[in-house]
Structure 1
Amino acid sequence: MIFLKRALLGSAAALATVGAAHAADLPAKKAAAVEFVRVCSAYGAGFFYIPGTDTCLRISGRARAEYGYQSNENRNVGSGNGDVSQFRGLLRINMDARTQTDYGTLRAFIRLEAASRTGAFMTSGTQQRIANAYPALGVDQFGRVQQYVNTDKAFIQFAGLTAGRASSFFDFYAHDFEFVGGTAGSDVSSTNLLAYTASFGNGFSATISMEDPNFRHNTVYSAAAAGAGAAAGTSGTSTFFSSYSLTPLILQQAANGNATLVGFQDVIERSRMPDFVGVLRYDSAWGSAQISGAVKDVNIGSSYNQGFLGATGVTLPIANSAAAIALASARGIRGGSQTTEGFAVQGGLKINTPFIAPGDALYLQGAYGEGANVYTGVTAYTGTYTQSGTPTNGGPFAQYLSDAVVNPLTGKIQLTESFSVVGSFLHYWTPSVRSAVFASYSETNFGKGARAALSLTQGLVGGSAGATSIVTNPALFALSPVLRDSYQIVAGANLIWSPVKDLDIGVEGNYINTGMKSGRVIDQTKTTGVNAANFAALNAAGAIKTLNNYDAAQVRFRVQRDF
């Protein structure tokens, strides 16, 4: 028995030895190496190496909540009229990737924003025009509820080159200390561009930038878009030409001065060539200084391709007839498209004032342009990408802001002059409490004679032969805001408390005054339904209410967390 036990144990030991020998011949399977995320200190806090690469990445973001009040006492028919409350929630995600190369730092930066906004003036025609915003539909919602997603930034920087979607290099102050961003001044934070920056040392640099023109077009004035009621400052759409952006041309006049034949000019600006921006900049410990210049294309289409509209004894239609073309040629109006060049110049200065308190700074900026209203920023508060608008929903009159006007007597483009000045000061009362005060003044001045010439076409735009021209009632046209030179004053202040790092709780108030540089206009909140036929009777009865300027106010409360 003992012998049997010893034999079995010996056999088991032999088998174990043989198994171990075979196992030693097999390849060993090692565990995969774990690569931990490493901190990248070359570009500042928050960067880390993307595993397996030499690229450093920083991910950051923002959450913002806003609540506002906009003065508005007009509840007349119109989208949003009577609304005073505002709400907005916004998210932002940033990704900044950098790699060191033999040519310097290679950088790619992207920023995605999404928001939901409701109420008075929280919807954005600017965002909607460039297809970033989507309004809710419905009688009670359109113009009050809006969602948007915006590729705010997506650019590459390499060896002085910047390519992609970025802030315009023309900009300087760009509402740096404001919530609402309503002061006059250029602030195109998202445009498509290709630029090169050369650094000369000692803080000096120069940039030349080719930028997307579609973000700087602010319309050539179109009477057909405004409709037959434009003379009285009312809104409407031309019944014959609602799908076009057209303005009338007078081809022949009767002895009494009334228009007897009207042609229409296509004034939609095509994307024909980029805007060109040049910048000289200086940065140092005391602050920054910048001089910017821009040249832009202002173009219109043919005056013949839409045919002609007759009036006062003229048989309809006179479509591209030899007689009509001859009349146009006799007045110096040609059938082809036209192009002219607008321009803008801007100077800005930022002065750091740590001798008052650490972090304090003062901005001063001025701009002048012709055919370049978005560059001078006169559209900042009332609205960009529109030929007219009111600083409040249902305001008493519209401010006209087109880049140019086609003179209906000559058919020539007349550029609009504009200028703006702005100042803003930021002060830290304590390390956690700061405030800013800011103010701007701007003017919009239309080409000489354009408004007077346009008066001859009013009453003919709606499309009916024999219509009464506004020129037969100059008193009414004198009270129209159409193509009137205007000014705007915006002033405001804010107060922000940061109880912990990267958390802002603040409130901002703005005062806005918009007015005509001369004369008075009809107050649409108190006078409605005015036209050339009934003006005399309404005026005799004292029913025509007028004003020269009006005030508006806005208050906004914000909670914001950056990370």
Structure 2
Amino acid sequence: MTMKSVLLGAAAGLAAIGAAQAADLPMTKGEAVEYVKVCSAFGPGFFYIPGSDTCLKIGGEVRAKYYGFGGTGYSRNDNRSAFDTQARIWFDARTQTDWGLLRSYFQINADSNKLTNRGGGDKRQVFSIDKAFIQFGGLTAGYAHSFFGFYDNEYGDTLEGNYYNESSTVNLLAYTAQFGGGFSATLSIEDGRDHRVDTTGFLGGRAVNQGGQQVPDVVGQLRYDQSWGALAVQAAGHQFRSADPVDANGIIIPGSTHKNGYGYAVGATGLIKIPAIDGWFVVEGQYANGALEYLGANNTFLARADYFTSDVGRIKRGKGWSITGELSGAITPQLQATLVGSYIDLSYDRAGAPLGSDAALKEFTVSGNLVYTIVKGLKVGAEVGYTYGKLDHSFWTDDKGRDHKNYNNWLAGMRITRTF
């Protein structure tokens, strides 16, 4: 017997033993591999979460901003230039159920240096929740844009320029009913603390502090949407309350008088689409009495309070109106042009007002920008804006002792945006 025969016999024997042992083992199948599947029910970018019938879209954006300011120059604390980089990421999860669409949306923003032309307001590495809400059928619950108006939520196409209208994301609980034919109605209960006016500005030298909330804001909107555009009317009720006065040690001063009051706001929005330039014209206006946040008062150069208490202890509501208009269209398929103009007029009752006047504020702003799409997902834009304001009393005195009631500010800059 040759060595070759011995080796072949040994190999055959091992193979036979292996086959006999394998015959005694149970038969099993390989683990199923779940692949990510595209979900086309809700548009591009959605995919099925493995093992579920929920579709998820993950998106993000990086904005690099470079701006220069000019104009007022009443303080050395004013920035004459400001850089900011903002990162955004969002998650949109949707499931079609027997009771309607179930959706949850979450977006977080991070700013490397919050863009502002006021030196004292700079903040570095600011993280903030932009939106966080749940929708089920007509129900919306969570942190979402107020249902008062729709311009800021759906348009508001300035790069960094200002305008005056409802622009707040608030905690709310809302229901929207669809009636067919483009008609819908929304009733929204919104956190009144999110609708308070920042009182860090001037009110004739008086500070106005609000107390704790008792009653939330109630917002209602009727809306009509068609292929040519949309119309809406809205209204809101808002409570304001005076806070307990405290001494220098933070101790409540006994025997103080407390004041409660209610304000309201009404508004209307109109949108006309312009297919010839792949654009639109939209205008939104509102009037408020004791609810100035709905006018966009927090966006003014000098923020004003919803109310003040006069020398004789009477509450005097702030009131006024504002309007914003936007015209936007494509110059070429890659180049979009947008022009935004806005005006706000605020005043207080004359009797008992600070400085014996109406403590009135009028402010106008206009912004124009061009945005060019370099490649899909990458845009570069340039913008110029101007703001002019006027008070009925002096708000600062220059180094030559001159009182100033007027102020103005120029804004010019650019933004590079990558969306994915």
Q: TM-score, normalised by structure 2?
A: 0.89
1:492 maps to: 367
Alignment of 1:257-272 (within 5 A): 267-272=209-214
Is 1:156 matched with 2:134? yes
1:43 maps to: 42
Are the structure 2 counterparts of residues 47 and 122 from structure 1 closer, same or farther at C-alpha, using a change threshold of 3 Å?
Answer: farther
C-alpha distance in structure 2 between counterparts of 1:287 and 1:5, whole Å:
89
1:554 maps to: 411
2:299 maps to: 380
C-alpha distance in structure 2 between counterparts of 1:6 and 1:490, whole Å:
99
Higher strand share: 2
Is 1:368 matched with 2:294? no
Q: Secondary structure at the match of 2:397?
A: coil
Alignment of 1:104-119 (within 5 A): 104-117=100-113
After TM superposition, where is structure 1 displaced by more than 3 Å over at least 4 residues in a row? 4-19, 72-77, 142-145
C-alpha distance in structure 2 between counterparts of 1:110 and 1:14, whole Å:
65
Report how far residue 501 of structure 1 moved.
Answer: 2.2
Alignment of 1:393-404 (within 5 A): 401-404=304-307
Is 1:501 matched with 2:401? no
Q: Secondary structure at the match of 1:450?
A: coil
Are the structure 2 counterparts of residues 11 and 339 from structure 1 closer, same or farther at C-alpha, using a change threshold of 3 Å?
Answer: same
1:264 maps to: none
C-alpha distance in structure 1 between counterparts of 2:58 and 2:368, whole Å:
32
Are the structure 2 counterparts of residues 10 and 91 from structure 1 closer, same or farther at C-alpha, using a change threshold of 3 Å?
Answer: closer
C-alpha distance in structure 1 between counterparts of 2:318 and 2:23, whole Å:
89
Output the amino acid matched with 1:406: T
Q: Secondary structure at the match of 2:31?
A: coil
C-alpha distance in structure 2 between counterparts of 1:8 and 1:302, whole Å:
100
1:209 maps to: 188
Alignment of 1:201-280 (within 5 A): 201-218=180-197, 267-280=209-222
Match of 1:100 among 96, 121, 124: 96
Are the structure 2 counterparts of residues 28 and 416 from structure 1 closer, same or farther at C-alpha, using a change threshold of 3 Å?
Answer: same
Output the amino acid matched with 1:377: G
Report how far residue 354 of structure 1 moved.
Answer: 1.1
1:346 maps to: 267
C-alpha distance in structure 1 between counterparts of 2:114 and 2:294, whole Å:
28
Identity level (%): 34
1:147 maps to: 125
C-alpha distance in structure 2 between counterparts of 1:218 and 1:149, whole Å:
22
Are the structure 2 counterparts of residues 360 and 6 from structure 1 closer, same or farther at C-alpha, using a change threshold of 3 Å?
Answer: closer
Q: TM-score, normalised by structure 1?
A: 0.68
Output the amino acid matched with 1:278: G
Structure 1: any 5+ residue segments left out of the alignment? 124-141, 236-244, 247-266, 308-318, 326-334, 383-388, 390-399, 456-476, 528-543
C-alpha distance in structure 2 between counterparts of 1:403 and 1:43, whole Å:
42
Are the structure 2 counterparts of residues 72 and 364 from structure 1 closer, same or farther at C-alpha, using a change threshold of 3 Å?
Answer: closer
Is 1:286 matched with 2:228? yes
C-alpha distance in structure 2 between counterparts of 1:273 and 1:208, whole Å:
16
C-alpha distance in structure 1 between counterparts of 2:4 and 2:375, whole Å:
79
Output the amino acid matched with 1:87: F
Deviations along 1:335-371, one digit per CA (max 9) or x if unpaired, are 553321111111010100113x1x2100111100011
Report how far residue 220 of structure 1 moved.
Answer: 7.1
Maintained 8 Å contact 1:220/1:406: no
Are the structure 2 counterparts of residues 75 and 298 from structure 1 closer, same or farther at C-alpha, using a change threshold of 3 Å?
Answer: closer
Maintained 8 Å contact 1:219/1:404: no
Are the structure 2 counterparts of residues 118 and 273 from structure 1 closer, same or farther at C-alpha, using a change threshold of 3 Å?
Answer: closer
Maintained 8 Å contact 2:149/2:268: no
C-alpha distance in structure 2 between counterparts of 1:49 and 1:146, whole Å:
37
Maintained 8 Å contact 2:274/2:281: yes
Q: Secondary structure at the match of 1:379?
A: helix
Report how far residue 556 of structure 1 moved.
Answer: 2.0
Q: How many residues align?
A: 414
C-alpha distance in structure 2 between counterparts of 1:177 and 1:365, whole Å:
14
Are the structure 2 counterparts of residues 379 and 302 from structure 1 closer, same or farther at C-alpha, using a change threshold of 3 Å?
Answer: closer
